[in-house]
Amino acid sequence: MPRVEIKIGTSEHAFDCDEGENLLFEAISRSIMIPFNCTSARCGTCRIRVLEGPENLNEVGDREVLRLGEEPVESGYRLACQTFVYGDVRVEVPQPRLF
């Protein structure tokens, strides 16, 4: 059973889930609040950065590249709503920049 670790600011959360489950839905079902609006890759709100285990996730899809851009995707950014877990992974939710 894959282990998911999520860092949000100074908080860290961890849970086990079934293989092939959606990262966003699994997190929010456990009251781990990854910000989101649409769940369909239209808004980009559920941006995460993969810290460990990118090989244990589904391949990056065209929607993610379109929404995030190629450079951020190459730097490990994904959309949680489009991310499916197949093995252990560690991610972080980037904090919004304050201007």
Instruction: Decide if domain 3-93 falls under CATH 1.10.3720.10.
Output: no
By DSSP bridging, strand 3-8 and strand 89-93 are parallel
Residue-level pLDDT at 99 = 47
Q: Which amino acid is at 75?
A: S
- Report the pLDDT value the prediction gives residue 95, as an integer from 0 to 100: 80
pLDDT score, position 4: 98
What are the extents of the domains in the chain? 3-93
Average confidence (pLDDT) over 44-57: 97
**Residue 33 in tokens:** 């609040």
Q: pLDDT, tens digit, for every residue of 79-96?
A: 999 999 999 999 999 986
- Nearest Cα residue to 48 out of 87, 81, 18: 81
Short-list 6, 4, 8, 13, CA closest to 94: 8
